[in-house]
Structure 1
Amino acid sequence: METRFLFVTGEPAAALPLLKQRAGWGAVVSATSFAVTAGRLHRPRNTTDDFQGVLYFADVRDKDLERHTLRLLAEHAIPCWPAPELLLAASERHAALARCVAAGLVDHPVVQATHTPTPQLPFPYVLKVGEEHRGEGKFLIQSARDIPRWEGIASMEPFFQGTSVRVLLVGERAFGARIENAGSWIKNGPGASVEPWTPGEALVAHAREAMRVFGLAIAGVDYVVNAQGFHFIEVNPFPRVGLSKESLAAAQVRFGEAMEAVEREARGR
């Protein structure tokens, strides 16, 4: 059957079983460029594509391409879940952090500035540049010699010793993961291992508030936990949902509902 709807996914195990159950859906598992011609969503130079709607749940490494696609979906009102405007707001690293600070979710100093060789926080601190996630664009600043040059805005926060954890929220369900990485101070970078972990009520409540700020139905909220409490790091709008069989099943239920919603909206256009 002709593919009329797209599931943009970075986690095929979550998407493929659903695609077998719903006619007209296809998966996009890599960064793909799109265009819109006369209201028709299609791949460039493809004259037969006519995609009617999108479920977008993939952290694309090429952030310029990701932003282009999300803006395209928003500008042309292509049925999409989650709403592309919400994904844009949550995936822009520095603007999202500023929004969390304004919402009172961050209880530590945060500095956002253009390039300066002058240390902005007591050592050690973390400098974040660019818009990438997955631990990319992070520098541990232990002296002024560690400060790199950067373009645009960078975010700076204290470096917290402790346990790196994620609260995965899928609708009303909450799951937890502890992230270990013996090879790097960046726990969610290459070489990371993840194991189930049970978050406390206060942490889950804080994570829900962070998810609410961005209007998301699924989110991964990252923290460092130590003897002083928990320290908010960031919200990820495209978390890995297969932390456990239970979290995967919960996400697939939510994805199935979203696919139905996208189809209904497309029929009403």
Structure 2
Amino acid sequence: MDIFRLDRGTAPLLISLPHDGSHIPPGIAARMRPAARRSPDTDWHVARLYAPLAQALGASLLRPLASRYVVDLNRPADGHALYPGRRETGLVPTIGFDGEPLYLGPDGEPDAAEVQRRVNAYWRPYHEALQQELARLRARHGRVVLWEGHSIRSRVPMLFEGRLPDLNLGTADGASCAPGLQHRLESLLDAQDRYDSVVNGRFKGGYITRHYGRPGDGVDAVQLELAQCNYMDEESFAWDEAKATTLREAIEPLLRACLD
């Protein structure tokens, strides 16, 4: 199977959706609990949400086919923690966001050799494509913005207390993008009143935002984590066209600010 899909654009904007995939290869799925085979922790429909915006703005769009349960593309390949001291699901998860095991038993969990095989087969190709597309756009424009598009259920007790804000902007505490860009994005969030928002709250940006965001070298990186209740049904994973259309109207000015 293909590892990822890249739709190349012409604008200095790359939208990366590293948790959009939901496919689990049969050999892995056979060792997993039935509930895990549905890949419930997928960033459901984010490609469907962003694709019309990318096309309208001329942005590049990169997304994987495989589930984050196969390997998490937004984690460092050496597996070190993104949020030390907090419970996390890891590079190759063995538990889901509900804290329950993904595999039928410990014997089914991947060992170190299998983890490395998954990194080589899935993680590295995605990151090579991401690096190459950033380099192409930066060579053409001088600067490029990497937009990390994510979503998650609005309530995940294992990861955070209460309900997640609707729009969660992350810039690694200001390190991954130029101050002017962060200020403009914050101003746009503050100016709208349909969705609540936070900047560098629980989600400050994962590995991709932190690793590739180097504003001094011409690459600004921003992560937006969306509460899924604003564009889909969180229980059935069903897409809600009316909600999604309204949410796109809030995201589009943010993406245009990146281009400006």
- Fold in common (TM above 0.5): no
Q: Which has the higher contact order (CA 8 A, sep 6+)?
A: 2
Pick the structure with more strand per residue: 1
TM bracket (short chain): 0.3 to 0.5
Structure showing greater radius of gyration is 1
Pick the structure with more helix per residue: 2
